[in-house]
């Protein structure tokens, strides 16, 4: 009969991966496949919520007592809010292709115009406008498979999810204030060609979280987990190998 300590050693650590605006688990396919060999990997469904806080509460309701948390784009803002709500439950934090800035002038109007485009002309029209800036310039034409996957994901999400996600982003909480709750090892990652959330934007996050692991994904745009899947997975593997602070270590 095994010892309790041996049984405990067999319990796999949990990684929770949060998708962003108009995104689902498709964004994290490579990471789920490869990290899932060593860890329990979960991708929560954030389609049905219209606030960052509600998304964070959903994550906490579904999560084990302690877990590592990675968010992409809007998902990273959800990750920060999750840490703010329950800092002692998050063992590691990864923020990819994101920002911590408040609403900028004209942002609400631009986002509302995209909502109206999708509702008026359909999600294909929205995808044709929204997707090109989300990836490295020219990538969609050069990579038909990625193009098809991204378009299919936008269609799966639909206009109602788009409206809810935009409401969440426009009502987003103060991410700068949430940084004060972070007391765990952090990965900050960004595509070198991310025109939506450029590397300079992440250097601001790095300044607020000194000592973080900072990785730039060469040649990738905003959709780094899909554009540079191997590099993102490798960065997450390095992140999971970071030692935990004694205060934040496993119970």
Domain ranges of the chain: 4-103+174-240, 107-167
pLDDT of residue 245: 73
Query: Containing H/E element for 19?
Result: none
pLDDT of residue 47: 96
The series of mean pLDDT values per 10 residues for the chain, 251 residues long, is 49 95 97 98 97 98 98 98 97 97 94 96 97 97 97 97 97 94 97 96 94 97 98 98 66 32
For Cα atoms 71, 46, 229, give the angle at the middle one, nearest 5 degrees.
Answer: 40
pTM: 0.92
pLDDT of residue 251: 32
Instruction: Classify domain 4-103+174-240 at the CATH topology level.
Output: Rossmann fold (3.40.50)
pLDDT of residue 249: 39
pLDDT of residue 1: 43
pLDDT of residue 2: 47
Q: What are phi and psi of 240, to 5 degrees?
A: -70, -20
Ramachandran area for residue 73 (φ above 0: left; ψ -120 to 50: alpha; else beta): left
What are the DSSP E strand ranges found in the chain?
A: 14-18, 40-42, 67-72, 90-96, 186-191, 213-217
The string over 69-102, giving b where at least 16 C-beta atoms fall within 10 Å of a residue's C-beta and e elsewhere, is bbbbbbbbbbbbbbbbbbbebbbbbbbbbbbbee
pLDDT of residue 11: 80
pLDDT of residue 98: 97
Could you identify the residue written with the tokens 């964004």?
A: 27
Tokens at 28, concatenated: 């994290």
Alpha carbon distance 63, 61 (integer Å): 6
């Amino acid at each position: 009969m095994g010892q309790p300590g041996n049984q405990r050693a067999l319990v796999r650590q949990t990684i929770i991966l949060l998708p962003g605006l108009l995104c689902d688990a498709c964004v994290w396919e490579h990471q789920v496949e490869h990290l899932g060999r060593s860890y329990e990997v979960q991708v929560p469904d954030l389609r049905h919520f219209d606030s960052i806080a509600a998304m964070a509460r959903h994550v906490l309701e579904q999560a084990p007592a302690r877990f590592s948390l990675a968010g992409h784009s809007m998902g990273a803002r959800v990750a920060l809010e999750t840490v703010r709500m329950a800092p002692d439950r998050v063992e590691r934090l990864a923020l990819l292709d994101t920002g911590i800035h408040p609403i900028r002038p004209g942002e609400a109007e631009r986002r509302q115009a995209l909502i109206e485009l999708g509702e008026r002309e359909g999600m294909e029209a929205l995808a044709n406008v929204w997707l090109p800036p989300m990836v490295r310039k020219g990538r969609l034409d050069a990579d038909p498979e990625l193009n098809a996957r991204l378009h299919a994901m936008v269609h799966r999400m639909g206009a109602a999810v788009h409206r809810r996600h935009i409401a969440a982003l426009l009502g987003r909480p103060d991410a700068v204030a949430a940084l004060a709750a972070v007391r765990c090892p952090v990965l900050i990652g960004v595509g070198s060609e991310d025109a939506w959330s450029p590397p300079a934007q992440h250097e601001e996050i790095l300044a607020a979280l000194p000592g973080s692991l900072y990785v730039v994904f060469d040649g990738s745009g905003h959709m780094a987990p899909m554009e540079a899947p191997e590099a993102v997975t490798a960065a997450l593997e390095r992140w999971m190998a970071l030692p935990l602070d004694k205060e934040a270590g496993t119970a």
